[in-house]
Chains A and B, each alone.
Chain A
Amino acid sequence: MADTQTLREWLLTETPTSRRHAKMSALYQGWLSFRSNTMAMVGLGILVALVFIAAAAPLIAPHDPYVQDLGNRLAPLGSEGHIFGTDSLGRDILSRLIYGARITLYIVALVALIAPIAGLLVGTVSGYVGGWTDTVLMRITDIFLAFPRLVLALAFVAALGAGIENAVLAISLTAWPPYARIARAETLTIRSSDYISAIKLQGAGALRIITKHIWPLCISSLIVRVTLDMAGIILAAAGLGFLGLGAQPPSPEWGAMISEGRRFILDHWWVATMPGLAIFTVSLAFNLLGDGLRDVLDPKAGE
């Protein structure tokens, strides 16, 4: 029966034969849509390369990122053994960029886990329950939205000391409110639909409705928003690193590298520019990915 069918036909079928079949078919068709968007594929390619580079850092980096060579400070691009040159302490810039990718990914992953999930929880509960709960939760959201990110980070540093984790905490605390707003707006629209009324008529409680019916519909717009925000988050982390509030020396965090290279920008421009280009590329990649995902996941665009 399924022997003569190719895998592609099986995945594009109109009549799935099991739950797994149906889910895989849906995923495959989404992938086909995504694949037709060249720019989105470029973004995805860059990010896949980033993950690979970070994972294989010990294998691909030509030098140890912490080893100093004061005799070979500020070597220009294309120097022997140092394609991207060296920084003010003679450390190889390329190796530091490669190891710095790990830190960037770490920050991105942490914030991407904390902020949208917190926002989803607050937003959906607020939108579904309404009344006083809604008012209180939304005012709390407004309070967090009013905090300037860098000031909050400074406060954290003063209280808890500098470091990547505190930087991540500061960024997450100011990043979750927009997700709460999006989730709430979606919930308000969904809550009056017939399919929600129908499940209420089966005796479903608020918890089931929120987790099984509302969340699956909010998740698409949240995913898109997260990828589009990634650029901002990376830049925020870099900014904190630049101010010395994030990763501490000798950590090869890209923002801290820009800060260190700032003094030499006129004569030895590559020390600050190379990490800057890395940040630019990764931010752009996230933006392109987000655009592509939105075209695939946004139900209105699809129908």
Chain B
Amino acid sequence: MSMLSVQNLNVWFGSNRDRVDAVIGASFDIPRGESFGLVGESGSGKSTILRAITGLAPDWSGTITVDGQQIGKVRPKTFFKTVQMVFQDPYASLHPRHSVDQVLGETLHLHGFKDIDSRVVKLLDDVGLGQKFRFRYPHQLSGGQRQRVAIARALAPEPALLLLDEPTSALDVSVQAEILNLLADLRADRDLTYLMVSHDLSVVGHMCDRLAVMKDGEIVEVLDVEALRAMNAAHPYSKQLLEASV
């Protein structure tokens, strides 16, 4: 059962002479419950694919199918109950003037939940933050704590597919381990599907079942994680990336 299917996706910015093609002819398929990685260097288009799926990049063509439903120009409200995203920079993904309680409360309210208070308490517990963080503002939280709040926010509508845009690249090594463990636990507990973007091959090797390697907007190869660990890549660019990261 396919959770996310992307066929011949093109994403561009600007028009005519100023047009920049960020993603060219990308195609991949993620079955339910799988963790799929997108690796590439900066400018490869990996984050842009996530933005196209969520509707944050307006100019795209191709087919995107989420949980059997094809996505058009406008996303219905139900889309956001199925797909959620965790952003890269924990320092920029929380509103500076909203407390943790407000962030989670607003999200729950927008999705039509009635028992907001108890859900906020449960979400904070699920991501490993206690109740004492509930009324803090972002500047009173560390990077790892902010990222946990961002994950809690993404989990609030009970989505099936989680898009992760370099979720640990802005965090310290020891904090990264905690967040990666948390993400692995959540995936096992809730049977989530992950699409994880990263430039770090070892993170992708740890978290994902399969991965796609991107260069200059195109997917050059799709590998199994075993092949990655065995340094068994077919495309020369993938080989290059593997060598550089060991």
A–B interface present (Cβ within 8 A) = yes
Residues of A within 8 A of B (CB): 14-19, 21-22, 26, 193-195, 197-204, 208, 212-213, 216-217, 299, 303
Q: Does B148 contact A (CB under 8 A)?
A: no
Binds A, one of B63-71, B93-101, B224-232: B93-101
Give Cα distance in the complex from A19 to B99, angstroms.
8
Which B residues are CB-close (under 8 A) to A213? 95
Which A residues are CB-close (under 8 A) to B139? 303
* A217 CB contact (under 8 Å) in B97, B99, B101: B97
Which A residues are CB-close (under 8 A) to B1? none
The reply to whether B101 and A19 contact each other, CB–CB distance below 8 Å, is yes
The reply to whether B80 and A202 contact each other, CB–CB distance below 8 Å, is yes
Question: Which 7 A/B pairs are nearest by Cβ-Cβ distance?
Answer: A16-B135, A194-B93, A22-B135, A195-B95, A194-B92, A194-B87, A15-B132
Give Cα distance in the complex from A208 to B107, angstroms.
12
Q: Does B155 contact A (CB under 8 A)?
A: no
Which residue of the partner chain B has the closest CB to A212? B106
Give Cα distance in the complex from A299 to B94, angstroms.
15
A-B contact count (CB 8 A): 70
Query: Closest CB of chain A to B129's CB: distance in Å?
Result: 12
* B87 CB contact (under 8 Å) in A198, A208, A303: A198
Give Cα distance in the complex from A299 to B96, angstroms.
9
Which B residues are CB-close (under 8 A) to A203? 77, 80, 110-111
Which A residues are CB-close (under 8 A) to B87? 194, 197-198
Which residue of the partner chain B has the closest CB to A219? B97
Query: Closest CB of chain B to A191's CB: distance in Å?
Result: 12
Query: Closest CB of chain B to A214's CB: distance in Å?
Result: 10
Query: Closest CB of chain A to B168's CB: distance in Å?
Result: 15
Query: Closest CB of chain B to A151's CB: distance in Å?
Result: 40
Which B residues are CB-close (under 8 A) to A195? 92-96
Query: Closest CB of chain A to B208's CB: distance in Å?
Result: 22
Q: Does B28 contact A (CB under 8 A)?
A: no
Which A residues are CB-close (under 8 A) to B136? 14-16, 22
Which residue of the partner chain A has the closest CB to B80? A203
Contact residues on B (Cβ < 8 Å of other chain), bracket: 20 to 34
Which B residues are CB-close (under 8 A) to A17? 132, 135
Q: Choose among B96, B102, B133 the residue with the greatest number of A CB atoms under 10 Å from its CB.
A: B96
Known: A212-B106, A299-B96; 18 extra A-B contacts, CB below 8 A, are: A14-B140, A15-B133, A17-B135, A18-B135, A22-B135, A22-B137, A193-B92, A194-B87, A194-B92, A194-B93, A195-B96, A198-B87, A198-B93, A199-B107, A202-B107, A202-B153, A203-B80, A213-B95
Residues of B within 8 A of A (CB): 54-56, 77, 80, 84-85, 87-89, 92-97, 99, 101-102, 106-107, 110-111, 132-133, 135-137, 139-140, 150, 153, 157
Which residue of the partner chain B has the closest CB to A193? B92
Main secondary structure of the interface of B (DSSP, over half): loop
Which A residues are CB-close (under 8 A) to B85? 198, 201
Give Cα distance in the complex from A18 to B150, angstroms.
20
Give Cα distance in the complex from A200 to B106, angstroms.
12
Which A residues are CB-close (under 8 A) to B111? 202-203
Give Cα distance in the complex from A18 to B99, angstroms.
10
Give Cα distance in the complex from A56 to B56, angstroms.
57
Which B residues are CB-close (under 8 A) to A16? 99, 135-136
* A200 CB contact (under 8 Å) in B56, B93, B157: B56
Give Cα distance in the complex from A195 to B99, angstroms.
13
Q: Choose among A14, A203, A216, A217 the residue with the greatest number of B CB atoms under 10 Å from its CB.
A: A203
Query: Closest CB of chain A to B132's CB: distance in Å?
Result: 4
Which B residues are CB-close (under 8 A) to A217? 96-97
The reply to whether B106 and A26 contact each other, CB–CB distance below 8 Å, is no
Which A residues are CB-close (under 8 A) to B106? 199, 202, 204, 212
Which B residues are CB-close (under 8 A) to A22? 99, 135-137
Which residue of the partner chain B has the closest CB to A200? B56
Q: Choose among A22, A26, A195, A204 the residue with the greatest number of B CB atoms under 10 Å from its CB.
A: A195
Which residue of the partner chain B has the closest CB to A214? B95
The reply to whether B137 and A26 contact each other, CB–CB distance below 8 Å, is yes
Query: Closest CB of chain A to B165's CB: distance in Å?
Result: 9
Which residue of the partner chain A has the closest CB to B76? A203
Which A residues are CB-close (under 8 A) to B93? 194-195, 198
Which residue of the partner chain A has the closest CB to B78? A203
Which residue of the partner chain A has the closest CB to B81? A203
Q: Can you name 12 A-B pairs with beta carbons within 8 Å? A: A16-B135, A17-B135, A19-B99, A194-B88, A194-B92, A195-B94, A198-B93, A198-B150, A202-B80, A202-B106, A216-B97, A303-B139
Query: Closest CB of chain A to B148's CB: distance in Å?
Result: 14
